Amino acid sequence: MPNIVVLGAGVSGLTTAYLLSKDPANKITVLAKHMPGDYDIEYASPWAGANYMPVGKEGTDHERWERETWPYLKEITEKYPEAGIHFLGTLIYNRKKDQESDTGKWFAELTQPDPWYKDVVPDFKPIPDEKLAPGVDNAQEFTSVCINTAIYLPWLVGQCVKTGAVFKRAVIKHIADAANEHHTGQKADLIVNCTGLSAKTLGGVMDSKMHPARGQIVVVRNNPGPMASVSGTDDGETECLYIMTRAAGGGTILGGSYQKHNWDSLPDPNLANRIMKRAIALAPSLVKPGQGIEGLDIIRHGVGLRPLREGGTRIEKDEVNGVKVVHNYGHGGFGYQASFGCSVEAVALVKEALQSGPRAKL
């Protein structure tokens, strides 16, 4: 009966705990500073849209994680409406002039005319050239999902709790200290590190490859219909344009930005204006005919920091001060759409690490 501590209760920690909790042999404590229900700049997961718009480059682990995640999201959407996910059509617009910008590079795979994910998502089809707006070089549509994070994260908590996992609040200074926080009072056999951007400053990890990609959003009550994304904008180099309506009354997210190394937690009112104006230009049905941004009914402005890692997500076995660790962090702007692929891999490493005995002392 292994004692496991999952450190972190964002989508990465919760998905890993959810999969681990399917094995009744695992005794799981989920330990975190922030839990679903909290909104904090150190906690990326609640701020996400969140939808499935694959961005992993073809042939990479990232592609595989996203490819493997779709069937799980599809199944949850179909079987568990209470999880707060729904299917929604999505339109993707590519402008070749964005390809050297940060947002263009981020969306490079998504906006390809012939992407790998065309066989993964339902209803993929290119939009004929004659229907493209001026300035758009190619476009496509498919059916995706949109996740209401305010419902989905608590749903994951519930799935773990009902199979015996225990949730505890704590702030950990050093990764090895988490081993002393298992709910049984015994020392944990293994820690799964799902601390997102905080892996940069967490003792025993201190990953200097971690940095934020700041995302600013406006959440509104208006509902334009399908989701839509554009590869870039003309008046903000690190800004992009996306619209997505969350399931079950979660409002519509208007985005956004992709500002690397920017830690600012306060919404920039000028950027908010640009976001709203661009959204209405792209989807006039957001407001009544003739209206501008005054026609938007704002619920809140928000900022989240995507936990980006140079060189890619870290899913790896480790040992710190004699404590076994499996890392699963650094999911940038794709933490939901790669959540199951990454967590399946982390769970396999947990099994491997627990099967191997303690490291022999030299």
Name the site residues for ligand FAD (rule: CB under 6 A): 7-13, 32-34, 43-45, 47-51, 170-172, 194-198, 202, 215, 217, 256, 304, 306-307, 329, 331-337
Of residues 95 and 246, the one with the C-beta less far from ligand FAD: 246
C-alpha dihedral sign at 279, 282, 283, 289: positive
| Cα(308)–Cα(305) distance, integer angstroms | 9
Minimal distance, residue 66 CB to ligand FAD, in Å:
9
Beta strand spans in the chain (E): 3-7, 27-32, 85-94, 125-126, 138-147, 166-169, 190-193, 210-220, 227-230, 239-245, 252-257, 259-260, 298-309, 314-320, 323-329
DSSP bridge pairs for 194: none
Of residues 208 and 356, the one with the C-beta less far from ligand FAD: 208
- Do residues 139 and 132 touch, judged by C-beta distance below 8 A? yes
- Which amino acid, residue 96? K
| Cα(356)–Cα(362) distance, integer angstroms | 17
Minimal distance, residue 255 CB to ligand FAD, in Å:
6
Minimal distance, residue 7 CB to ligand FAD, in Å:
6
- Which amino acid, residue 204? G
Beta strand spans in 150-297 (E): 166-169, 190-193, 210-220, 227-230, 239-245, 252-257, 259-260
- Nearest 5°: the CA angle 224, 279, 82 is 45
Enclosing H/E stretch for 106: helix 102-106
DSSP bridge pairs for 210: 309
Minimal distance, residue 126 CB to ligand FAD, in Å:
22
Of residues 14 and 129, the one with the C-beta less far from ligand FAD: 14
Of residues 11 and 120, the one with the C-beta less far from ligand FAD: 11
Minimal distance, residue 362 CB to ligand FAD, in Å:
31
Of residues 88 and 280, the one with the C-beta less far from ligand FAD: 88
| Cα(181)–Cα(177) distance, integer angstroms | 7
Of residues 132 and 298, the one with the C-beta less far from ligand FAD: 298
Of residues 89 and 295, the one with the C-beta less far from ligand FAD: 89
DSSP bridge pairs for 302: 217
Of residues 47 and 142, the one with the C-beta less far from ligand FAD: 47
Minimal distance, residue 131 CB to ligand FAD, in Å:
25
Which residues, including other chains, have CB under 8 Å from residue 43's CB and lie 6 or more apart? 10, 33, 34, 196
Minimal distance, residue 33 CB to ligand FAD, in Å:
4
Minimal distance, residue 40 CB to ligand FAD, in Å:
8
